[in-house]
Amino acid sequence: ERRSQAEPEFQQAVREVLETLEPVLEEHPEYIEGGILERLVEPERQILFRVPWVDDSGKVQVNRGYRVQFNSALGPFKGGLRFHPSVNLSVVKFLGFEQIFKNALTSQRIGGGKGGSDFNPAGKSDAEVMRFCQAFMSELVHYIGEHTDVPAGDIGVGSREIGYLFGQYRRMTNRYEAGVLTGKGKGWGGAEVRTEATGYGAVFFAEEMLQRVGESVAGRRAAISGSGNVAIYAIEKVQQLGGRAVTASDSGGYIVDEGGIDVELLKQIKEVERGRISEYADRKPGSHFVANGSVWDVRAEIAIPCATQNELGADGARSLLKNGVRAVTEGANMPTTPEAVELFQEAGVLFAPGKAANAGGVATSALEMSQNAARSRWDFDKSENRLHEIMRDVHDMTFAASERYGKPGDYVLGANSAGFVTVAQAMLEQGII
């Protein structure tokens, strides 16, 4: 705690994990003796760097770049890059810490890391985004590699940015090292279903939880926040499974479409035009936009927060509970505050933490790495089936751990303990490093 006093998000993420580990540590005193906890909360390496670039008016801009290489006991560091003005060391460390356990749950042999910059892509021209990405990679190049650290996308980093980053990596190293980044374009090493994977995976996880208690997504209303990569494909999969996703949002407000969100229109506005969610209501009769207010006030049986950390607090939880929510699945990382998680769990709502529910994205990234290494390419159906299997395994592993440690159906305990034991055991066997 002393070393991370000014890092509230990181402390929140660590506390949330450590608080659940008591029964695990009782069973495994060797983890305490081996200093696993002390080692686990300290990143193996943190890199902070200057990112100077020139904007369209010719002015020099300077941002800060981050890469936190948190834990590589299971494989090369793996985790996304976030470009958003709110990025700071606390945010990158919380994301990197969560990533360790999430990656362990995928069983794909990948370590945990995260990075990004306080660069704000909103309103920047394509050329500015390219110059920023090139400047960012000019420094990051020294620390990554297919066997060392493999970054991917996150908020503000999609296939366009990964393309510019990869181009600069290739130019600077004079090597075609496809496996150094994931989320690449499909024509040059990207995997099928990577774009869809996190959103689809979160809904597959919700379906597994519901089926275990004899229910399903079909026929249910879902409230989804965000309108980025994760949200769009969570909405698409809810509809494919016969449910009805009725909301989407961005930092400007939320839309409600009682008939079910028109996914093609949503993709056109957000992916093609890079517009705002309010434009959906302008173009879709029968839908409406709410500028101020909470998307969690909309009645839904399934809630899938897919925007950012701490976006679903106690008020949102109370409102969802009042309206009869049955399942909450985190598409984003740590979107639900600890108070809200407690309210859901006390009310007996099925609650899936992000480190389990949104693991489909990084799992599919690992499949992209395998395909790059084998110089092969899987088709869409094979890739989606594999994602589905992985999410089923993550669910089953998480549920089994919740049973083993005394709280069947507590997926927070299940995800933390199953992820922790896998990493802790590897660290123990590899000695004090």
Query: Which residues carry a binding-site annotation for NAD(+)?
Result: 198, 229
Rounded Cα distance, 111 and 117, in Å? 21
Identify how many contiguous H helices and E strands the chain contains and give both numbers. Answer: 17, 13
- Asked if residue 340 binds ligand NDP (CB under 6 A), the reply is no
Strand order in the sheet with 350-352: 244-245, 221-224, 302-304, 327-329, 350-352
Q: Which of 96, 111, 113, 226 binds ligand NDP (CB under 6 A)?
A: 226
Provide the minimum distance between the beta carbon of 175 and ligand NDP in the complex, in angstroms, as a whole number: 26
Q: What is the DSSP string of 356-398?
A: HHTHHHHHHHHHHHHHHHHT----HHHHHHHHHHHHHHHHHHH
- Asked if residue 151 binds ligand NDP (CB under 6 A), the reply is no
> What string marks each residue from 293 to 312 as x (binds ligand NDP by CB under 6 A) or -?
-------------xxx----
Considering 114, 184, 237, 355, which one is annotated as catalytic?
Answer: 114
Q: Which of 113, 153, 179, 353 binds ligand NDP (CB under 6 A)?
A: 153
- Asked if residue 68 binds ligand NDP (CB under 6 A), the reply is no
- Our CB check for ligand NDP shows the closer of 168 and 249 to be 249
- Which of these ranges, 28-36, 150-158, 164-172, 418-426, lies near ligand NDP under the rule CB under 6 A? 150-158
Residues within the annotated binding site?
78, 99, 102, 153, 198, 229, 365
Q: What pairing do the DSSP bridges indicate for beta strands 288-290 and 253-256? A: antiparallel
- Our CB check for ligand NDP shows the closer of 252 and 408 to be 252
Strand order in the sheet with 288-290: 247-250, 253-256, 288-290
Residues within the annotated binding site for substrate?
78, 99, 102, 153, 365
Provide the minimum distance between the beta carbon of 264 and ligand NDP in the complex, in angstroms, as a whole number: 17
- Which of these ranges, 129-137, 211-219, 327-335, 408-416, lies near ligand NDP under the rule CB under 6 A? 327-335
Degrees to nearest 5, angle at CA 166 with 163 and 172: 140
- Asked if residue 250 binds ligand NDP (CB under 6 A), the reply is yes
Whether 355 is catalytic = no
Alpha helices in 228-276 (DSSP H): 229-240, 263-267
Q: Cβ–Cβ contacts within 10 Å for residue 197, how many?
A: 31
Q: Cβ–Cβ contacts within 10 Å for residue 244, how many?
A: 21
Q: Cβ–Cβ contacts within 10 Å for residue 221, how many?
A: 21
Which stretches of the chain bind ligand NDP, using CB under 6 A? 86, 153-156, 198, 226-231, 250-252, 306-308, 331-333, 358, 361
- By annotation, the residues acting in catalysis are 114
